[in-house]
Amino acid sequence: MLNLERLRTLDALARHGSVSGAAAGLHITTSAVSQQMAKLEREAGQRLLAKNGRGVRLTDAGRLLAEHAARILSQVELAQADLEAQRGQVAGELRLSAFPTAARGLFPAALATLRAEHPALRLRSSELEPERGISGVVRGDLDLAVVLDWYNKPIPLPDGLVKAPLLDDPADVAMPVGHRLAGRDEVDLAEFAEDEWITWGEGEFCHEWLMFTLRSKGIEPIVGHRAAETHTQLGLVAAGLGVCIAPLLGRHPMPAEVVTVPLKQRVRRHVYVVWRADADRRPAIRAAVDALRATAREVGQAA
């Protein structure tokens, strides 16, 4: 008889590609992963792992069993979701992530509502960029992720995920109060061809969007500074070091030395929450989505 927890370890190893990645995803030690795999090999009667340099790789038998493990674990999760739905209880543990401005702008109110209304629900939240949040949901490390894409650059979603829209988040250009365009009612991105941009980290989805958008207008961006946090970017703008895109969500309070001006072509981020389809009937998932949508409505009305 194959042990379910050992199959879960094999599944994590296949998804993460390393013993250390599997250990981090399962919140156990690397030695515990190795011990679980050694026991699973004895149960299966075949080698499931082979050395690959300093790491390991799955053998043909390991890959075959990992494919079965993924299907088995999906069915187990579906069964658990159905049982929770039948009981109608919002309980257990719920693991959520959000990109930084959503973690600041949505999570405090939404998670406080969930805790107050469902005291048996244990909440575990983290701040992750959209792609990492989506990967976490796909791998099963997270139950929900609040993610975003831009009006002109959608982010691809893997099969097996469900999404619900939360809000459209308008974005302006933030510039020092003494900037030549600070008094305008609206501006065009082409007018910032000679300005230094303060942007997100290299490879991050929002940074790639900004580069794509500026280049589509014939502008080769001058990137002066990078910062993951909106408030750090705004602090650099306040010091006169450049301009940045400033979405409404999570940007307040604004530094007194910074002014925001709307773009002629309105720029918006689409913010939504994603979860796995096989967990769709879990009452905890539904409660979390409802709380996030209610908070998003309040944020939208305040804007």
Q: Is 75 exposed, middle or buried (CB count within 10 Å of its CB: 0-12, 13-18, 19+)?
A: exposed
Round to whole Å and give the CA distance between 89 and 111.
Answer: 17
User: Would you state the pLDDT for residue 87?
Assistant: 67
Round to whole Å and give the CA distance between 74 and 159.
Answer: 14
User: Would you state the pLDDT for residue 286?
Assistant: 92
223 three-class SS: strand
User: Would you state the pLDDT for residue 141?
Assistant: 84
Rg value, the chain, Cα: 23
Q: SS3 letters for 102-171?
A: HHHHCHHHHHHHHHHHCCCEEEEEEECCHHHHHHHHHHCCCCEEEEEEECCECCCCCCCEEEEEEEEEEE
pLDDT, one tens digit per residue, over 220-252 is 999 999 998 889 999 999 999 999 999 999 788
Q: Is 214 exposed, middle or buried (CB count within 10 Å of its CB: 0-12, 13-18, 19+)?
A: buried
Q: Is 300 exposed, middle or buried (CB count within 10 Å of its CB: 0-12, 13-18, 19+)?
A: middle
- Please calculate the CA angle 208-211-212 and round it to the nearest 5 degrees: 85
Round to whole Å and give the CA distance between 282 and 201.
Answer: 35
Q: How far is CA 37 from CA 17, 19, 76, 93, 149, in A?
A: 14, 10, 20, 26, 39
pTM for the predicted model, two decimal places? 0.73
Structure tokens at 30: 């690397």
Q: How many CB atoms lie within 10 A of CB 50?
A: 11
Task: Print pLDDT tens along the chain (303 aa).
Answer: 788 888 889 988 888 888 888 887 777 889 989 999 999 999 999 999 988 887 888 999 989 998 898 888 878 877 776 676 656 778 888 999 999 999 999 999 999 999 999 998 999 999 999 988 998 888 788 999 999 999 888 888 888 899 999 999 999 999 999 999 999 999 999 999 999 999 998 888 899 999 999 999 889 999 999 998 889 999 999 999 999 999 999 788 899 999 999 999 888 999 999 999 888 888 899 999 999 999 999 987 655
